[in-house]
Structure 1
């Protein structure tokens, strides 16, 4: 048996607990990974709350988390990996990452960059992978001015870095407490809240009109941002894809593939992308880690570590 942290029914934090779970056996195309670190994401509490019942397979008790880094203990047929490999990737359907052991899809895994500790590698599948897909989708170049709404989180900080590396001017909208993070990623910080759109417009007069919008907030903020660009077709939203489509933009198609993850790992190795881990929690305190992410006040990434 292995220790894991998850939830026993849909609901709030009161449904979460530590429990024992059988160590799974890898099937074809799967890896049994001894988890060293797991990324914590807003999607985790949304799954627990029941918001993702139509898209995420859940069997109670359900282990939380969808991204991990660790060491391959065993490999099923046709994986391309072997025991002892340090890997990061997305957990297999029906399995979670806040655990001592989990199954990972080999097609959604890559070797950990040599320069990255496990707690950094564990943040790459979701935040860095999403940012990579966004920048590729928008085909960002040095002539662009990219507006990032919610630039202080894991996806926002990674998107800011990658767009900046492409030569674009990046306007990062977030709270005052995350100004240093945005600026350290190469962005120009713009305070969120009432009047943010006027502040964006004033900054754009100096650096160039907004040519692309990356939305990680949704709602009225997204609608106000669309009015700032003449190219609504270059608006992508992770937070509110349906509304983005109504406004002329789109959601983002995630490519959880080995090819994408190898590209992301190479960017980390070259120093183009530096994932920002704000804080780590041991597995026994995974509830506190998820609480911090659910509060919306985390800057960068939150990670659960497994001894």
Structure 2
């Protein structure tokens, strides 16, 4: 039996619990991975709350938390090539990541390079990969100005760094408490909230060439009013809102090739994962509350002892 942190019905934190369950068996094209670290993301508590994208299937109950992990291959299923037990990997689990073991699709799993820690590897499949996919979708030119809302969160800190690495000027909105973090990544910080549009215009009088929304709501509306071409407006978490404003949702590729490239950038020093909090699996609830509060800086990771 193996431990996993689950929600047994949709709702709030009261629906969460640890359970012992049989170790999963990998099917065709799947890997069984002994989890070493799991990234914590807003999507985790949103799924527990019953939120899902339009057209997507509900999460089967009970649901195991977690959508990004790193670990070592324990077993390979039929028709799997390129992986053997003992190899270190990273990817998005099919069965949830706040657990001692998880199943991953081999086709979307990357090998972890030696120079990348399990903790840092665990935060690449969701947050960093979303940032990478969004920037590739926008394809901003070097020297252009990009607005990133929610720049102090997990996706935001990766998006700022990747954009700056490509020679793009970044204006990042975030709370005043995250100003030092945002500026340390090379972005111009603007405090979000009432008057944000005027503050952005003050630092970008010529307007912004593109906008990458990670906050939704009023921040997305402000971004839409600042970008001249709404085709240059994307959002990672508000597909219906951004479509109504003439923009589009981030198109996720979810490929091993993207993870390979992100791992290379981290090892090479061009991308810092900004992991600011780690918790043992036994404190999964506290890790999730840290992110659910909306005040977490950078990334939070659950580490599984082996």
TM-score relative to the length of structure 2: 0.96
**Equivalences for residues 43-192 of structure 1 within 5 A:** 43-52=43-52, 55-56=56-57, 58-76=59-77, 77-92=79-94, 95-192=95-192
Contact 1:113 1:121 in 2 (8 A): no
Q: Show the counterpart of 2:247.
A: 249
Q: Cα distance 1:173–1:73, how it changes in 2: closer, same or farther (>3 A)?
A: same
Q: How has the CA–CA distance of structure 1 residues 37 and 261 changed in structure 2, closer, same or farther, with 3 Å as cutoff?
A: same
* Unaligned residue ranges in structure 2 (runs of 5+): none
SS of 1:179 mapped into structure 2: helix
Matches within 5 A, 1:282-297: 282-297=280-295
The secondary structure found in structure 2 opposite 1:35 is: strand
Instruction: Say if 1:30 and 1:79, in contact at 8 Å, map to a contact too.
Output: no
Q: TM-score with structure 1 length normalisation?
A: 0.95
In 2, the alpha carbon distance for the partners of 1:156 and 1:183 equals: 12
The alpha-carbon distance between structure 1 residues 56 and 128, as it changes in their structure 2 partners (threshold 3 A), is farther
| 1:57 Cα offset (Å) | 5.2
Aligned position for 1:230: 228
179-188 or 126-135, larger mean C-alpha shift: 179-188
Contact 1:89/1:109 (8 A) holds in 2: yes
Number of corresponding residues = 303
Name 2:195's counterpart in structure 1.
195
Structure 1 Cα separation of the partners of residues 167 and 229 of structure 2: 19
Q: Give the secondary structure class of the aligned counterpart of 1:72.
A: strand
Secondary structure of 1:142's counterpart equals: coil
- Aligned counterparts of 2:96 and 2:58: Cα–Cα separation in 1: 11
- Structure 1 CA distance for aligned equivalents of residues 70 and 56 of structure 2: 23
Q: Deviations over 1:244-284 (max 9, x none)?
A: 12222100111111111112112112211111111011111
Q: What's the C-alpha RMSD, in Å, of the aligned pairs?
A: 1.3
SS in 2 for 1:91: coil
* 1:221 equivalenced with 2:223 (yes/no): no
CA distance in 2, matches of 1:164, 1:84: 36
SS at match of 2:223: helix
What do the CA deviations read for 1:33-81 (whole angstroms, capped 9, x no partner)? 0000001111111111111286255333321111100000111132421
Partner SS, residue 97 of structure 1:
coil
1:132 match: secondary structure: helix
CA shift at 1:107, angstroms?
1.2
- In structure 2, distance between residues paired with 1:263 and 1:130: 13
SS state at 1:186 partner: coil
Residue 159 of structure 1: SS of its match in structure 2? helix
C-alpha distance in structure 2 between counterparts of 1:160 and 1:210, whole Å: 15
Q: Is the Cα contact below 8 Å between 1:28 and 1:79 reproduced in 2?
A: no
| Worse-superposed segment, 188-197 or 107-116 | 107-116
Contact 1:226 1:232 in 2 (8 A): yes
